[in-house]
Chains A and B, each alone.
Chain A
């Protein structure tokens, strides 16, 4: 759970406990708070709508920012490492590099790595991209497909968000090597469904055009625009190329490996494995570097640093201040209108604290409820209808609003309500009965 979620959850719980105390100790006061909000339905509705809109904006920003923060935060256990070429981007390594790190190849793996890398802690990626359209002038975003070529057995243990993929799908991919798993949005863009067949004219491995069968859809939103294919099928493409080209190897035959993933136990293991790989004479001709996944992502995000800073520390505070002012204005108006009523309540015996609680309660109720509705709506509409926030940053296709946002929304609404209503509540609490009725009488 992120720090943001912990703080907002703590605020939400505190507010709910306070509300429960008021409800239990004095349900009629709670009724008065609730009824007062219905006094001017138009004003309450407009205030609520404003809060909903502003909370949705904050939710969207925090969704992106908190996901990126989580992605770039260093883990302390089960840390993923990315192995790439030190001096080339993108990496184009020979396949043999992977053998030196593959625990399934005990005769090839570097002996020093054996204690650190288990059977399910290894994965390789080759990037295969192409178009269903042969004519380059007709290629569009809709008919371009980008895929990870990998060993299907590594999908469940190593791919984020695919740990629960049905094992039968892996079996299908091994049985039919041309089977490809595509994201939902990619399938829609290609106007295809499960079972359809298509041919990709490769753009990064010219001459290696492959036929595919559409397999089950990749779950979730993370891989919406991508695909996963069987590395064996990818590698056989190079063999076919040789056969068709008088035994001439493809120009990229020895440069088809783009990324190697390893997972190690802890930070000590990261340092040791990194040292082994980077200093090994085995890779002296194509030096490698080893970094954690989070630092790799952070490097990618460096170009967006100022944008993310502005979103997090300028835009969000500005929105929160706006919300506070909106609520403050609405509550101040309602307190001004009810000055005589506050005086009457004092005459009846209401203490200043009770009047303060009443006004604060109105603001917290309308703010908290509106905030909660905003984030509930965000989760439903952004995630289920739109499939996430399509913020084109780095290689992330879309960001889904986490369930944590329910706490964010309530806390933002209730918190800004509480803050914004402090001054009007104090004014209400300080109403002098003698002054009010001097004018009335």
Chain B
């Protein structure tokens, strides 16, 4: 596993406005995720997990701060740039699969590839590879309505990995599955992380899912806290080491015991 961080978040604030009221969701948040890590993100409802995920996936912009994925500052891209960037760099796995019901499994997995300059043969090969990896190459022509929940989520995972993205983001991927299917999905994600060295960010309420991660972070009052071996949660805040972000001054990490 490479030590270079693939995700770098610095001083991110995110708030929403409801009428005259400002609701702070993320507060001076900092995060580094090394390449190849399987990171679990937990927190109560409304803690900002999905908001953080959206910032990392380039689906939203922070009110303040910077978000870097690889060498791309996604917080400064335009909508069109973000769309193009997402196709190649982000694989998103949804809680409710969100497959297009009018397309077959094959066509759903192929969907991100139609935005890339690939030939039909190349697209076909990549789709088959992805479906093989998730063990669904015998369900090519089935529509989502003809697949079980677990199978649909496998298709969702295939769709997420078909473009060989830099980062896989999974928002409660087992939230809508029974225990057995959930285990299969988590096994699959673990396998992807190990065999393909994929960086995976997993948002979950499920402690069993979180256990699969190599590191677990909790979102609490808009800030990230890390659970240590002794159960003590350490807030990840403020400065990052020199060179962590291009153009940033030297700083040191400080941790607070809670």
Chain A residues close to B by CB (< 8 Å) = 26, 28-29, 31-32, 35-36, 38-39, 340-341, 344-354, 433-434, 437-438, 440-441
Contacts and interface: CB of A to CB of B under 8 A. Distances in A.
Q: Please give me the 8 A-B residue pairs with the lowest Cβ-Cβ distance, nearest first.
A: A349-B87, A35-B102, A434-B60, A28-B114, A441-B50, A433-B59, A351-B83, A344-B98
Contact of B107 (A31, A341, A434): A31
B103 A35 contact: yes
A348 B54 contact: no
A437 B171 CA distance: 10
B95 A347 contact: no
Given A31-B107, A348-B92, A341 B100 contact: yes
Contacts of A36: 102
A26 B115 CA distance: 8
A349 B88 CA distance: 8
Contact of B50 (A29, A351, A438): A438
Nearest to B114: A28
B163 to A, nearest CB: 8
A347 B114 contact: no
Contacts of B80: 351-353
Given A347-B86, A349-B84, A437-B54, A28 B112 contact: no
Given A344-B94, A437-B50, A437-B171, A350 B115 contact: yes
Contacts of A32: 100, 102-103
A433 B60 contact: yes
Nearest to B103: A35
A346 B171 CA distance: 16
17 contacts: A31-B107, A35-B102, A39-B101, A345-B111, A346-B83, A347-B59, A348-B86, A348-B87, A353-B80, A433-B60, A434-B54, A434-B60, A437-B54, A438-B51, A440-B94, A441-B49, A441-B50
A378 to B, nearest CB: 32
B66 interface: no
A440 B96 contact: yes
B37 interface: no
B114 A434 contact: no
Given A35-B102, A35-B103, A348-B87, 12 more contacts: A29-B114, A39-B102, A340-B98, A345-B111, A346-B83, A351-B80, A351-B83, A352-B83, A433-B59, A440-B96, A441-B49, A441-B171
Contact residue range for chain B? 20 to 34
- Of A38, A348, A433, most buried by chain B (CB within 10 Å of CB) is A348
A349 B115 contact: yes
A257 to B, nearest CB: 72
B95 A351 contact: no
B35 interface: no
Contacts of A38: 102
B112 A349 contact: yes
A26 to B, nearest CB: 6
B159 interface: yes
Contacts of B110: 28
A270 B78 CA distance: 68
Given A340-B98, A440-B96, A441-B172, A348 B59 contact: no
B79 interface: yes
